[in-house]
Amino acid sequence: MLINMTKNYRWFQKIYLNLISSIVFYTSIPLPYISGLDFTGVSRLVTLIGLLIGGILGIFDFLIASIGMPILTRSALVVIVWIIITGGLHLDGAMDTADGLAAPDAKQRLQVMADSRIGAFGTMAGLAVILLKTVALVDIQNYRWLVLMAACGWGRWGQQMAIVCYPYLKPTGKGYFHKKALGPYINLLPGLFSLIVFITLATIRYRVNLYFFMGILLIGIIIAISTSAWFNYKIGGHTGDTYGAVVEWTEALFLCALAIF
């Protein structure tokens, strides 16, 4: 009995530390100092971190809506808080990737992306992502909390898709440990399953329109797969910067597509 309790405690402790490690790595949410954090497997829980970020954004959106904030200002503030929560981690990757794509060949693209300075193309890409998210949110009047959670979740599942399915181009790069941690294709299933379960339960509970429900599922899957494949096609693989680009562009395009519904 005591042995089983000890094993269960260690299992819960491991899950807890992995979750806290993922929050610390992927967000700027302030947490007290915790020892024993291990960042090598954070990519396994990244989809759950996306749902957490989306949930925080949904609560923030609800609070400022309750005081009568106009939807345009509200949407802009949500996007700003979105950047703050993530520490601009993925947006920085999207901007570096855009600068790299402006180079004429794959080798030069990697060299440009390694430069921490942001160029003209990176600036334009960053502005485009922010603008698309803002105007799409203005057009989405209903179930905004659900849309925000789904967008953040699909963006990070797209990142997992990029990590698992395509080669990592810089073996000594900062993102290489993600590739080692996720491993085979089967590790894409937990994140996908958690998103499907969450969206299904939420739509049943709040009686969301069936077409909207199908749109959240199908559009999310299609865009997450397409963005990771597109960056692989353009660069011949992925880096830590393109992982961030996949997150940002999946989120932005997902919101734009859902605005149709």
Residue 34, in any domain of the structure: no
Asked whether the beta carbons of 190 and 157 are under 8 A apart, the reply is no
Q: What is the rounded CA–CA span in Å between residue 119 and residue 31? A: 34
List residues bridging with 241 in a β-sheet. none
3-state secondary structure of 154: helix
Q: Where do we find the tokens 């179930």?
A: 143
Which residues have CB under 8 Å from 146's CB, separation 6+? 58, 199, 202, 203, 206, 208, 216
pLDDT tens, residue order, the chain (261 aa): 545 545 555 656 777 788 898 999 999 988 887 777 888 888 999 999 999 999 999 999 999 999 999 999 999 999 999 999 999 999 999 999 999 888 877 777 777 887 778 888 999 999 999 999 999 999 998 899 999 999 999 999 999 999 999 999 877 666 778 888 888 888 899 999 999 999 999 988 888 888 888 889 999 999 999 999 999 999 889 998 999 999 999 999 999 999 987
Cut 0.85: pTM above it: yes
3-state secondary structure of 47: helix
Report pLDDT for 136: 97
Report pLDDT for 225: 97
Residue 87, in any domain of the structure: yes
The 8-class DSSP code of residue 32 comes to: -
Residue 219, in any domain of the structure: yes
Radius of gyration of the chain (CA): 19
Minimal CA–CA distance to 256: which of 138, 85, 159? 138
User: For residues 48-68, b (16+ Cβ closer than 10 Å) or e, as one string?
Assistant: bbbbbbbbbbbebbeebeeee
Report pLDDT for 102: 84
CB burial of residue 230 (10 Å; 0-12, 13-18, 19+): middle
Residue 1, in any domain of the structure: no
As for how many domains the chain has, the answer is 1
Residue 134, in any domain of the structure: yes
Tokens of 166: 């395509």
Tokens of 187: 């590790």
Report pLDDT for 9: 54
Report pLDDT for 2: 45
Residue 25, in any domain of the structure: no
Range of the domain at 118: 46-258
Residue 35, in any domain of the structure: no
Residue 38, in any domain of the structure: no
Minimal CA–CA distance to 210: which of 218, 145, 15? 218
